[in-house]
């Protein structure tokens, strides 16, 4: 079985880890930095493999998923196996037990986030809080872990480590919300008979804002058993016309703005500039 970690992944988590490793008090050797950066992508891929089994997703990154190619048994064990590789790498390359502990705790929150996802699916009473809690576990915790681990491994001060943790979290939250918004906009623009997620009862933030505002028409549409393309188009129009899409954009901007403010307080160096540029480009995608 071959799991090609390089197939289409953007390696965002390793990249953030390496950027944040520049804010510590000591420059660490690549002998430690590279395996730790890799461990974060491995942890990410492990969760994706299990997610794909659970959702029975046929494709990921334009390739057939592991369980499609090798069966569910191999996919579940492959995910488990990658978890152990993750722990092996961090136990070999992080110094303090405290760091490993922090990692285990963070991974715990990631998995709790996955479980929370169920609370939202097919639930027209889903709230923004539930959504934010879900993407917190699904995305933000791992971004936060990447940033924290980067700052901690290079012996950043407690203040810097805490700041990096927050920045990573905010970037992760913004990243996921913006991804949702782009999915929404793409589907709406090119008139795809899509919003596959919607059919599967997976509501992204713009819809949830409408549901939470007790928008009667939207609730009626989404409460139906089998959504037609017309239903989906009607729901999409409500979300745009009644301002829920813009509300979602404002929430994303709240996270990026907070991240930018905190990045500016970090030690001034090249990584700081890169981070500011990355976050600005992120939010500009939905402007």
Find the binder of a second copy among 4, 8, 61, 105 (CB under 8 A): 105
- Asked whether position 69 contacts a second copy by CB under 8 A, the answer is no
**Stretch in the footprint of a second copy (CB under 8 A) among 25-33, 87-95, 185-193, 276-284:** 87-95
Q: How far is the CB of 109 from a second copy (least distance, A)?
A: 9
In angstroms, the CA 47 to CA 224 distance is 31
Comparing C-alpha atoms, which of 257, 209, 262 is closest to residue 235? 209
**Mask 109-128, x = binds a second copy (CB under 8 A)?**
--xx-xx--x----------
**Mask 135-154, x = binds a second copy (CB under 8 A)?**
--------------------
- Those residues with Cβ within 8 angstroms of residue 147's Cβ, 6 or more apart along the chain or in another chain: 16, 17, 20, 164, 165, 167, 168, 169, 171
CA 158 to mean position of chain CA atoms:
25
User: In sequence order, what are the beta bridge partners of 259?
Assistant: none
Query: Rule CB under 8 A: which of 26-65 touch a second copy?
Result: 47, 50, 53-54
- Asked whether position 76 contacts a second copy by CB under 8 A, the answer is yes
- Asked whether position 87 contacts a second copy by CB under 8 A, the answer is yes
Find the binder of a second copy among 9, 83, 231, 243 (CB under 8 A): 83
Is residue 269 within 8 Å of residue 235, measured between CB atoms? no
Number of residues interacting with a second copy: please give it, by CB under 8 A.
31
- Asked whether position 84 contacts a second copy by CB under 8 A, the answer is yes
Comparing C-alpha atoms, which of 21, 51, 47 is closest to residue 33? 21
- Asked whether position 74 contacts a second copy by CB under 8 A, the answer is yes
Q: Please provide the distance, in angstroms rounded to a whole number, between the alpha carbons at the two ends of the chain.
A: 42
Q: How far is the CB of 71 from a second copy (least distance, A)?
A: 9
The Cα-based distances of 242 to 28, 207, 208, 252 in angstroms read 51, 11, 13, 18
In angstroms, the CA 227 to CA 229 distance is 7
**Mask 169-208, x = binds a second copy (CB under 8 A)?**
----------------------------------------
Q: How far is the CB of 138 from a second copy (least distance, A)?
A: 12
Dihedrals phi, psi of 59, to nearest 5 degrees? -130, 150
The Cα-based distances of 238 to 15, 136, 209, 241 in angstroms read 38, 27, 11, 5
Dihedrals phi, psi of 63, to nearest 5 degrees? -125, 155
- Asked whether position 101 contacts a second copy by CB under 8 A, the answer is yes
- Asked whether position 88 contacts a second copy by CB under 8 A, the answer is yes
139 DSSP 8-state letter: I
Q: Using the minimum distance from each CB to a second copy, give the nearer residue, 141 or 170.
A: 141
Q: How far is the CB of 189 from a second copy (least distance, A)?
A: 32
In the complex, the residues that contact a second copy under the rule CB under 8 A are: 47, 50, 53-54, 72-74, 76-77, 79-81, 83-85, 87-88, 91-92, 97, 100-101, 104-105, 107-108, 111-112, 114-115, 118
């Amino acid at each position: 079985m071959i799991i090609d970690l390089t197939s289409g992944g953007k390696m965002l988590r390793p990249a953030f880890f390496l950027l944040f490793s520049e804010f510590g008090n000591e420059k660490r050797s690549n002998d430690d930095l590279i395996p730790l950066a890799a461990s974060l992508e491995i942890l990410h891929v492990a969760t994706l493999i299990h997610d794909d089994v659970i959702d029975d997703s046929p494709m990921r990154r334009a390739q057939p998923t592991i369980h499609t190619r090798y069966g569910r048994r191999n996919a579940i064990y492959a995910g488990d196996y990658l978890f152990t590789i993750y722990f092996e790498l961090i136990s070999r390359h992080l110094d303090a037990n405290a760091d490993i502990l922090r990692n285990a705790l963070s991974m715990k929150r990631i998995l709790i986030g996955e479980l929370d996802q169920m609370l939202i699916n097919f639930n027209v009473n889903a709230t923004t809080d539930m959504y934010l809690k879900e993407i917190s576990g699904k995305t933000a915790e791992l971004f936060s872990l990447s940033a924290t681990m980067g700052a901690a491994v290079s012996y950043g001060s407690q203040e810097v480590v805490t700041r990096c943790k927050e920045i990573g979290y905010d970037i992760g939250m913004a990243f996921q919300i913006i991804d949702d918004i782009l999915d929404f906009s793409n589907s709406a623009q090119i008139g795809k008979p899509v919003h596959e997620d919607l059919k599967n009862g997976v509501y992204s933030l713009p819809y949830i804002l409408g549901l939470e505002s007790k928008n009667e028409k939207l609730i009626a549409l989404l409460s139906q058993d089998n959504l037609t393309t017309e239903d989906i188009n009607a729901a999409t129009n409500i979300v745009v016309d009644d301002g829920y899409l813009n509300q979602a954009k404002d929430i994303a901007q709240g996270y990026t703005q907070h991240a930018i403010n905190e990045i500016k307080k970090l030690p001034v160096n090249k990584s700081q500039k890169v981070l500011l540029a990355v976050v600005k480009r992120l939010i500009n995608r939905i402007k």
